[in-house]
C-alpha cells in the first residue's frame, strides 16, 4: 500500500469526473438494466485450472461446483462513487461487484487506460535495515483513550502485530537492562523516554517479527520520537489512528485500569495529560497537515469505537486491493454468434475484508442477457496471474 494504490477518495473523484466527462460529451451512461442478470462466482481453481476459459451461453447454465454470490442491484457511476465513499464509513458484510457500462454492451479491457492495473504486491511504506518491507500504522491518543484495547481488536481482525511503546519500555525495565532505572523514573514522572531507547526497541521488535504489518501504539509521542523513527527506519506511517477522548473520561478509565501500573495514580495521570497536550498533539497535527490522520471518537463504548476503527482498516487492508484486483479481470461480451465485441469501459468490484483474500484470484464474473441480442459471459478471465 503505497503511492501507487489510489485512495478510495481519489477513485471516487475519478468516477465522478468520468461521469461528468460523459455527460459533457453527450454520451449517455447506461447502467446494466432490468433484464440483466448477474452473478459473481467463486470457482474452485484446483478443478478449473487446466481448463480453457469458457463461455456459458445461457444465464441458467451455471457450472454447479461453485458457490454463487448474487450481485447487488446494478448501479450507475455516480452511485458507485457514493458507495465507495460509504465503504470508508462502515463495514461491509457481503460482497459487492458493481459493473458499470459506458454504453450498452461495452465493457472494459483491463489494459485500456485502467490506472489501477499496476498494483504492486510488494508495496509497503518503508523498510527495515534487513530490507524487510513493512506497513506501519501509528496509534495515538491521550493516556486511557483506549489505544491498547482497540489495538487488540485490530490484531484479531486484521492480522497486524501490536507494538506498544509503553509495554516495550516496561519490558525493558523488567529485563534488568542498564537503561531500566532511567526508564522507570521517566515513566513514574509521566515523561517521555529518550527516542534512541524507544526507537531501538521498536525496530528490534519489527525485525524479530514474521509479520509485515504493525500497529505502533503510543508512539511517536513527541517531535523527537517522530524524527528519530523516520531517520532510523525510513518508515512513513500508512496513517495515524487518533483516539479523541475527554480528560474526565480518560481519568476515570485510568483510575479503574487496575493493571498495577505505577503511573496510573492521579498525580502522574495529570502530568501525562500535560505532556500529551504539549508534546504529543503537535505530532498529530504534523500528520494531520499531511492528510494522514484518521480521527476516532473514543469516548463511546468499546464496541462502538471498534466499529469506527474497523471501517478505517477495512478499506485499506482489503477493499481497495480487491477491487483493484477484480478490475484486472477480462470481461468478454459475445453476441449470439459468439463473436467477441468487447471494447471499452470500466469494471470495478469490491469485496469485504473477510472473503477478499479467498476470492481474490478465484472470482469469476458472469453476466448474462444483458442486452436483447447479446449474451454475455465471463469466466475465469485474467485471474490466473493475480497470485
Ligand X SMILES: Nc1ncnc2c1ncn2[C@@H]1O[C@H](COP(=O)(O)OP(=O)(O)O)[C@@H](O)[C@H]1O
Residue 133 gets the label, from left (phi > 0), alpha (psi -120 to 50) or beta, of beta
Q: Does 191 bind ligand CDP (CB under 6 A)?
A: yes
- Decide whether 162 or 319 has the Cβ nearer to ligand CDP: 162
Joined together, the cell numbers standing for residue 71 give: 450481485
Give the pairing of strands 239-244 and 135-141. parallel
Strand blocks (E) in 208-266: 213-217, 239-244
- Decide whether 272 or 366 has the Cβ nearer to ligand X: 272
Contact of residue 253 among ligand X, ligand CDP, none (CB under 5-8 Å per partner type): ligand X
- From 98, 144, 237, 315, residue interacting with ligand CDP (rule: CB under 6 A): 144
CB burial of 91-118 (b: ≥16 within 10 Å; e: otherwise) equals: bbeebbbbbbbbeebebbbbeeebebee
- From 213, 253, 319, 362, residue interacting with ligand X (rule: CB under 6 A): 253
- 148 labelled binding-site residue: yes
Query: Which is nearest to 129 in space by CA: 232, 208, 210?
Result: 232
Q: Does 221 bind ligand CDP (CB under 6 A)?
A: yes
In angstroms, how far apart are the furthest CA atoms of the chain?
82
- 261 labelled binding-site residue: yes
- 284 labelled binding-site residue: no
The Cα–Cα gap between 279 and 221 comes to: 7
Contact of residue 301 among ligand X, ligand CDP, none (CB under 5-8 Å per partner type): ligand X
Dihedral pair phi/psi, residue 70, rounded to 5° = -65, 145
The Cα–Cα gap between 85 and 12 comes to: 7
- From 74, 126, 146, 218, residue interacting with ligand CDP (rule: CB under 6 A): 218
171 SS3 class:
helix
Q: CB neighbours of 257 closer than 8 A, spacing ≥ 6?
A: 144, 264
The Cα–Cα gap between 363 and 40 comes to: 7
Q: Does 169 bind ligand CDP (CB under 6 A)?
A: yes
Minimal distance, residue 182 CB to ligand X, in Å: 22
Q: Which of 83-91, 146-154, 175-183, 191-199 is the region at the interface with ligand X (rule: CB under 6 A)?
A: 146-154
Residues 258-277 binding ligand CDP (CB under 6 A) are: 263, 272
Q: Does 62 bind ligand CDP (CB under 6 A)?
A: no
Q: Which residue has the cell 519490558?
A: 171
> How far, CA to CA in Å, does 80 sit from each of 31, 70, 76, 319?
11, 17, 6, 14
Query: Which is nearest to 91 in space by CA: 314, 327, 251, 290?
Result: 314
- Decide whether 291 or 301 has the Cβ nearer to ligand X: 301
Query: Which is nearest to 381 in space by CA: 38, 41, 33, 36?
Result: 41
- From 98, 126, 143, 146, residue interacting with ligand CDP (rule: CB under 6 A): 143
Q: Does 257 bind ligand X (CB under 6 A)?
A: yes
Q: Which residue is nearest to ligand X (CB)?
A: 146
The DSSP annotation for 183-208 comes to HHHHHHTTPPPPHHHHHHHHHHHHHH
Q: Which of 177-185, 197-205, 249-257, 364-372 is the region at the interface with ligand X (rule: CB under 6 A)?
A: 249-257
Q: Does 301 bind ligand X (CB under 6 A)?
A: yes
Contact of residue 69 among ligand X, ligand CDP, none (CB under 5-8 Å per partner type): none
Q: Does 116 bind ligand CDP (CB under 6 A)?
A: no
Count of positions on this chain that bind ligand X (CB under 6 A): 14
- Decide whether 30 or 300 has the Cβ nearer to ligand X: 300
The Cα–Cα gap between 163 and 340 comes to: 53
Q: Does 349 bind ligand X (CB under 6 A)?
A: no
Minimal distance, residue 323 CB to ligand X, in Å: 31
- 221 labelled binding-site residue: yes
- Decide whether 110 or 299 has the Cβ nearer to ligand X: 299
| Residues of each annotated binding site for a ribonucleoside 5'-phosphate | 170, 191-193, 218-221, 261, 272
Residue numbers at the binding site for ligand X (CB under 6 A): 141, 143-149, 253, 256-257, 301-302, 305
Residue numbers at the binding site for ligand CDP (CB under 6 A): 143-144, 147, 164-166, 169, 186-187, 190-193, 198, 218-219, 221, 225, 263, 272
Amino acid at each position: 500500500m503505497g503511492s501507487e494504490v489510489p485512495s478510495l477518495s481519489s477513485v471516487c473523484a475519478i468516477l465522478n469526473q468520468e461521469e461528468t466527462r460523459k455527460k459533457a460529451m453527450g454520451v449517455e451512461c447506461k447502467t446494466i438494466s432490468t433484464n440483466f442478470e448477474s452473478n459473481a462466482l467463486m470457482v474452485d481453481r484446483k478443478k478449473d485450472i487446466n481448463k480453457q476459459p469458457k463461455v456459458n451461453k445461457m444465464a441458467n447454465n451455471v457450472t454447479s461446483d461453485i458457490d454463487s454470490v448474487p450481485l447487488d442491484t446494478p448501479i450507475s457511476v455516480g452511485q458507485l462513487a457514493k458507495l465507495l465513499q460509504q465503504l470508508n464509513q462502515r463495514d461491509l458484510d457481503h460482497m459487492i461487484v458493481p459493473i458499470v457500462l459506458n454504453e450498452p454492451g461495452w465493457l472494459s479491457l483491463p489494459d485500456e487506460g485502467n490506472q489501477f492495473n499496476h498494483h504492486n504486491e510488494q508495496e509497503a511504506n518503508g523498510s527495515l535495515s534487513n530490507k524487510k518491507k513493512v506497513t506501519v500504522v501509528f496509534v495515538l491518543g491521550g493516556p486511557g483513550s483506549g489505544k491498547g484495547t482497540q489495538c487488540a481488536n485490530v490484531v484479531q481482525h486484521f492480522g497486524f502485530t501490536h507494538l506498544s511503546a509503553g509495554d516495550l519500555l516496561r519490558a525493558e525495565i523488567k529485563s534488568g537492562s542498564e537503561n531500566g532505572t532511567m526508564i522507570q523514573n521517566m515513566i513514574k514522572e509521566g515523561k517521555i523516554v529518550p527516542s534512541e531507547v524507544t526507537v531501538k526497541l521498536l525496530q528490534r521488535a519489527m525485525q524479530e517479527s514474521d509479520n509485515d504489518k504493525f500497529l505502533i501504539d503510543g508512539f511517536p509521542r513527541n517531535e523527537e520520537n517522530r524524527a528519530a523513527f523516520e531517520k532510523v527506519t525510513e518508515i512513513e506511517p500508512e496513517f495515524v489512528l487518533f483516539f479523541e477522548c475527554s480528560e474526565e473520561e480518560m481519568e476515570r478509565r485510568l483510575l479503574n485500569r487496575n493493571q498495577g501500573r505505577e503511573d496510573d495514580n492521579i498525580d502522574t495521570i495529570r502530568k501525562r495529560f500535560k505532556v500529551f497536550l504539549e508534546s504529543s498533539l503537535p505530532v498529530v497535527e504534523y500528520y494531520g497537515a499531511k492528510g494522514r490522520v484518521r480521527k476516532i471518537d473514543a469516548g463511546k463504548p468499546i464496541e462502538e469505537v471498534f466499529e469506527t476503527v474497523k471501517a478505517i482498516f477495512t478499506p485499506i487492508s482489503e477493499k481497495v486491493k480487491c477491487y483493484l484486483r477484480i478490475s484486472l479481470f477480462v470481461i468478454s461480451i459475445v453476441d449470439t454468434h459468439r463473436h467477441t465485441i468487447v471494447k471499452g469501459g470500466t469494471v470495478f468490484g469490491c469485496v469485504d475484508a473477510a472473503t477478499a483474500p479467498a476470492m481474490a484470484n478465484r472470482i469469476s464474473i458472469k453476466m448474462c442477457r444483458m442486452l436483447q441480442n447479446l449474451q454475455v459471459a465471463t469466466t475465469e478471465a485474467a485471474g490466473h496471474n493475480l497470485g
